[in-house]
Chain A
């Protein structure tokens, strides 16, 4: 059984007077995430990806369908906090996620809520801060940190709860390029070294490329999914839904259109250079 199993979920924020949903934010989504996987969910604003994220830790409950986390149904009220302990959610605005005036005290907030022993909290806080490379800043005030640093502290705050999976809802949307780079490399490190399951919701294609699997959402539905190579080679489909593809994939697509023979769609700059070298021969 998959770690996260989303089964035919429908959800709507508004209900008409007859009780029927006005417009479904999530419109019949089924999706599985395995342990240790790095999944990126991409799509436009309002495509339902953030709403879906909030279903993964029981912040929202489906109108119909089921979300199972490690076999537990999110709609069971007595399981809510077990689920939030297993799946941590990091939100977009780093400022609004930090609740204490000192970095280490903020990271301790989660385990304190769980009633963990003080010595164990200390250990977890230090470990979490080291995992995101913010240990030297443990006695700083959050408002003096940069956006990327704040977001890494927010990630540490979730790590201290010791979840098995971390879901991030557009964590880089409010950051500058340096901050984005810091956050994404932290996530990759967590996934590769600590085998953390990561679900990254983003609208940056160059971030999605780094995932094991990419899920494309549009209008509350899953449009397509697969490895980054599989997804970004469907340039026509993505363009039809006004989604971007990584620049190198775009270039390859256009060159192909000009009659060049290209087998593999490159996703990174290095692959792109290799492809061009190959094509020039």
Chain B
């Protein structure tokens, strides 16, 4: 039950997006987050949506996986769009008791919905097409300048990649512990919130104990495989910024420019 999450999974492939330098992908992703929240009118929103659609198609990942990842946020989307729908000033189009729908409210609701969906799709696209090792590798390389101030760049990247590796393993373990506790008569599905939170304690304690034991084992196994920190380490998969990556970055820059132009000419913001 906890294992049914497609968000954060990696699907190996050979598409254009797969072959992009993970550093470029990470930078584009950061830029993307910025532009998605800088869309102030429908023209700008249309540009970013088109951009999103472009890389989703180029990733060649079946759309059902993207839909699956959207399921996780559907509640947040509905909640925030409803909240925005009734929260707007201006002339009321429809009114009943304290509920008031205005043209501005509708607009806000559309914006917030599209933004969250685009954000979710983009982050799914990033994790679907980039292996965790590539991702942490990119992070390590991008943060390398921080080494000057003795920031433990390699250690942080290694911890991240180990954490990502053990997410499914620990989820599986949680499942097992839950079943074991249920078999002993633990009741996790009834009662009020406080009661249900309390019911989690017998799951969390064994999970923590086993996670520590596992960590000890993993450390031993890493030492057995000659791990001695980041110094002198090489990587099997070298990452290169090629013409392809540069053009991807240029396209992103153009999209940013397009969004800014739309903002200026249509609404006059910026």
Residues of B within 8 A of A100 (CB): 132-133, 161, 165
Interface residues as binary, B211-246 with A (CB distance below 8 Å gives 1, 0 otherwise): 000100110111111111000111111100000000
Give Cα A85 to B224, complex, Å: 9
Residues of B within 8 A of A85 (CB): 226
The count of chain A contact residues (Cβ–Cβ below 8 Å) is 41
Specify which of A81, A118, A141, A142 is in contact with B236 (CB 8 Å cutoff).
A118
Residues of A within 8 A of B12 (CB): 102, 139
Q: Which of A16-24, A31-39, A103-111, A245-253 contacts B (4 or more CB under 8 A)?
A: A103-111
A117 at interface (Cβ–Cβ under 8 A)?
A: yes
- The minimal Cβ–Cβ distance linking A193 to chain B, given in whole angstroms, is 23
Residues of B within 8 A of A111 (CB): 234, 236
Within 8 A of B (CB), among A213-256: none
Would A112 and B10 count as touching, CB distance under 8 A?
no
B164 at interface (Cβ–Cβ under 8 A)?
A: yes
Specify which of B214, B224, B233 is in contact with A115 (CB 8 Å cutoff).
B233
Interface residues as binary, A136-166 with B (CB distance below 8 Å gives 1, 0 otherwise): 0001011100000000001001100100000
B235 (CB) vs chain A CBs: closest residue: A112
B131 at interface (Cβ–Cβ under 8 A)?
A: yes
Give Cα A59 to B223, complex, Å: 8
CB contacts between A and B, total, < 8 Å: 105
Specify which of B132, B169, B220 is in contact with A59 (CB 8 Å cutoff).
B220
- The minimal Cβ–Cβ distance linking A250 to chain B, given in whole angstroms, is 35
Would A110 and B236 count as touching, CB distance under 8 A?
no
- The minimal Cβ–Cβ distance linking A137 to chain B, given in whole angstroms, is 11
Chain A contact residues, CB within 8 Å of chain B: 57, 59, 81, 84-85, 88-89, 91, 93, 95-102, 104-105, 108-118, 121-122, 125, 139, 141-143, 154, 157-158, 161
Chain B contact residues, CB within 8 Å of chain A: 9-10, 12, 131-133, 161-162, 164-165, 168-169, 172, 214, 217-218, 220-228, 232-238
Chain A to chain B contacts (Cβ below 8 Å), 27 pairs: A59-B223, A84-B224, A84-B226, A85-B226, A95-B169, A96-B217, A98-B165, A99-B218, A100-B132, A100-B133, A101-B10, A101-B165, A102-B12, A104-B236, A105-B133, A111-B234, A111-B236, A112-B234, A112-B235, A115-B234, A118-B237, A118-B238, A121-B235, A122-B236, A141-B168, A158-B225, A161-B226
For the complex with contacts A97-B217, A143-B172, 8 further pairs of A-B residues with Cβ separation under 8 Å are: A91-B217, A102-B133, A105-B131, A108-B235, A109-B222, A142-B165, A143-B169, A154-B221
